[in-house]
């Protein structure tokens, strides 16, 4: 089985360790989506339920700083690591 054919691999190729990503979780109490942010610590391919999928590990920026695994397609890139943001006031 080729690792470059994993489900979600095209998205995970855009990610680098240290990138900031966003994902959403549903809040049953407020009946709305919560936006969560975190820093990527690793990406890998795993077999889950007989299918090779791309998994990204993230440390959340809010709440407990415990690593969380996400299916790579569920993440949205917010900021690339090492990308310099120019001062808009100059």
Give the pLDDT of residue 73.
Answer: 87
Look over the chain and give the mean of its residue pLDDT values, rounded to a whole number.
84
Q: So where are the chain's domains?
A: 3-79
Residue 4 tokens read as 């470059």
Return the CATH fold of 3-79. Answer: SH3 type barrels. (2.30.30)
Res 23: pLDDT: 95
In the chain, beta strands by DSSP E: 20-27, 32-48, 51-60, 68-71, 76-79
- Within the chain, which residues score under 50 in pLDDT? 1, 3, 88, 90
User: At 34, which helix (H) or strand (E)?
Assistant: strand 32-48
pTM: 0.75
């Amino acid at each position: 089985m080729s690792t470059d054919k994993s489900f979600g691999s095209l998205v995970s190729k855009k990610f680098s360790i240290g990138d900031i990503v966003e994902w959403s979780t549903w809040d049953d109490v407020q009946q709305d989506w919560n936006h969560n942010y975190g820093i990527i610590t690793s990406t890998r391919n795993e077999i889950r339920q007989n299918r090779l999928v791309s998994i990204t590990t993230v440390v959340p920026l809010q709440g407990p700083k415990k690593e969380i695994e996400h299916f790579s397609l569920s993440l949205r890139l917010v900021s690339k690591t090492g990308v310099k943001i120019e001062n808009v006031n100059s």
